[in-house]
Structure 1
Amino acid sequence: MNRIKLCVVGACGRLGSTIIKESIDHFEIVGAVESVHNPNIDKTLTNFGIIESDIKITSSDDLSSAISNADVTISATTPTAELLNAPVYVENNKKIIIGTTGFSTDEYSKLVSTFNNKIPSLLTSNFSIGMNFLYNLSELVGRLPDEFEISINEKHHSKKLDAPSGTALSIAKIISKSKGYKDLIFDRTKHGKRQQSELDVTSERLGGIPGIHEINIAGQYELLRLEHIAFSRAAFARGALVAAKWLHNISEPKIYSMKDVISN
């Protein structure tokens, strides 16, 4: 059985390096990319201590070369880097999976415009299979009586840049659509008494937590709590690799999501 050839952009990052480590049984790493000034450029993956491989870590300036032999590329970098790299995937007709968060509305729209109907691509705020199942459960909250109110809390490691997390915002979008909320409240101290149109989304940054997302659903006399806890970044890496296997078999040039992956 031929292994899927994979390139990872953001190869030295927390998620990128974990994806490479988790890939060794079923994929062939043919490219590893980092930002131009990363000190690990030109080191092999062996030198960097990820896996035993002679593949060198390539500068993003040479992205076209790095993805040339890849069946699928997975990228976890920054919004700025993704917008710079996106046209390269299109020009080279390469399938791309992006798990970067922190995009502004305009940045995300630009990314979608770059990929739409040009190449098979997959965009997600969270690769975890369990979290994407939680997304599906979140769609059901609109069936609850009006007295039930909902809040979202997320916890991550103290080095995470964006808050709330992209995942929390994705949950909020799903719940708002289902329940009819119009306003996201990130700091209750500035808004006073809760209004019917409001959904509270709070964030905490501490320690080395890979990710905890909690949905609280409260009526007057009962509380339902839906919680997803990632024990390790391997949960996200394995989900990314499931997505890569799925996208490898897709030919229609559309933008897909993890919902498409877990639905098939």
Structure 2
Amino acid sequence: MRILVLGHGKTGKLVAQVAAERGHGVHVLDAKENPNAAALTAPFIAAFDMVIDFTTPEAVLSNLRACLATGAKVVVGTTGWYDALPSMKDLADRKGASLLFGTNFSFGVQAMFELAREFAKALPGYTFSIDETHHVTKLDAPSGTALTLKKAIEDLAEAEITSIRDGDAAGIHTLKATSQSDTISLTHEAHSRRGFAEGAVSAAEWLATQKPGTYDFAEIYKGLVPK
């Protein structure tokens, strides 16, 4: 495939690297080259089979509007924009585009979301909380992953989120259940950002074979986990 990667930050660089390792052609646009999605003209987008966005909450909606309006296939790993998801889904439907989104493209984190629900179901009398730590340059807080973790248990338990921005942390998420007698923790710690990049490229390879529509990574990831 010919892949356009939007965003040249830490994860965007790894997405480009992983895609190239898998034999895809890759072109990267950083923020300076694409202010307000100015570079994303229809002829430019048409030169690519897939777009992967790892930019910022401020840039992602302009990028999505420009790409989806051309009927492009887009994987978006940026978070902090989900209030606009219904309108982006509508745009994709009207233009025959494909949109695959996810709050986290790590296979391990997706498994954690499922485990969290069973965790909360098994401990109905406990008090729950969520701690999340990311690098200091991450702009949205709480993280999309922490919000998804909270949503996973919302009909079983309430959970306050504590967000920490520290150093170059790739991402640590902990769901705690506390009683007077004990505390039990469910933690996912990313050792690097490569897991996110591999998941995003796997998602792009999957999306390339699907009919137009909007897809949630949480609903399709199991078929992509390496055997």
* TM-score, structure 1 normalization: 0.76
8 A Cα contact 1:86 1:114, kept in partner: no
**Structure 1 residue 241 and structure 2 residue 218: aligned?**
no
- What is the CA-CA distance between 1:87 and the residue it aligns to? 2.9
Query: Residue 55 of structure 1 aligns with which residue?
Result: none
Residue identity opposite 2:219 in structure 1 = D
- What is the CA-CA distance between 1:226 and the residue it aligns to? 0.9
Q: Deviations over 1:120-142 (max 9, x none)?
A: 21111111111111112122234
- Taking the aligned partners of 2:85 and 2:58, their CA distance within structure 1 comes to 11
Query: Residue 127 of structure 1 aligns with which residue?
Result: 105
Residue identity opposite 2:152 in structure 1 = I
**Structure 1 residue 23 and structure 2 residue 1: aligned?**
no
- Sequence identity, in percent? 30
Moved more, 137-146 or 232-241: 137-146
Query: Residue 78 of structure 2 aligns with which residue?
Result: 100
- What is the CA-CA distance between 1:104 and the residue it aligns to? 6.2
Equivalence map 1:68-217=2 (5 Å): 68-103=46-81, 105=83, 107-116=84-93, 118-177=96-155, 179=156, 181=157, 198-217=158-177
Query: Residue 259 of structure 1 aligns with which residue?
Result: 218
- Taking the aligned partners of 1:205 and 1:18, their CA distance within structure 2 comes to 21
Give the counterpart of 1:224 among 173, 181, 184: 184
Moved more, 216-225 or 58-67: 58-67
**Structure 1 residue 6 and structure 2 residue 24: aligned?**
no
Q: Cα RMSD over matched residues?
A: 2.1
Higher Cα Rg, which structure: 1
8 A Cα contact 1:31 1:67, kept in partner: no
- What is the CA-CA distance between 1:153 and the residue it aligns to? 0.3
- Taking the aligned partners of 1:26 and 1:71, their CA distance within structure 2 comes to 15
5+ residue gaps, structure 1, are 42-57, 182-197
- What is the CA-CA distance between 1:116 and the residue it aligns to? 4.2
SS at match of 2:21: coil
- Taking the aligned partners of 2:88 and 2:215, their CA distance within structure 1 comes to 13
Distance 1:145 1:157, change over 3 A: closer
5+ residue gaps, structure 2, are none
- What is the CA-CA distance between 1:147 and the residue it aligns to? 0.8
- Paired residues, number: 220
SS at match of 1:114: helix
- What is the CA-CA distance between 1:220 and the residue it aligns to? 3.7
SS at match of 1:62: coil
- What is the CA-CA distance between 1:145 and the residue it aligns to? 4.2
- Taking the aligned partners of 1:66 and 1:245, their CA distance within structure 2 comes to 21
More helix by share: 2
Residue identity opposite 1:26 in structure 2 = R
Residue identity opposite 2:4 in structure 1 = C
Give the counterpart of 2:30 among 15, 31, 34: 34
Equivalence map 1:41-80=2 (5 Å): 41=33, 60-63=37-40, 64-80=42-58
